[in-house]
Amino acid sequence: MFEILHEDNHIIVAEKPQNTIIAGDITGDESMFDILKQYIKEKYNKPGDAYLGLVHRLDRPAGGLAVFARTSKAASRLQEQLKSNELKRTYYCVVRGVPANTTDRLVNYLKKNEKTNTVEVVPPAVEGAKKAILNYKLLQTVETKEGPLSLIQVQLETGRSHQIRVQMAHMGCALWGDQRYGFNVNKKGQQLALYAVKLRLIHPTKKESMQFICYPPQIAPWTSFRLNIE
For 42-96, the pLDDT digits (tens) are 998 988 889 999 999 999 999 999 999 999 999 999 999 999 999 999 999 999 9
Q: Is the pLDDT of residue 127 over 80?
A: yes
Computed over every residue of the chain, the mean pLDDT equals 95
Assess contact for 203 and 211: CB atoms under 8 A: no
Which of 12, 11, 15 has its CA nearest to residue 1? 15
| Predicted model pTM | 0.95
Collapsing DSSP to helix, strand or coil, 153 comes out as strand
Sorting pLDDT into bands at 50, 70 and 90, what band is 25? confident
Which of 217, 212, 216 has its CA nearest to residue 230? 212
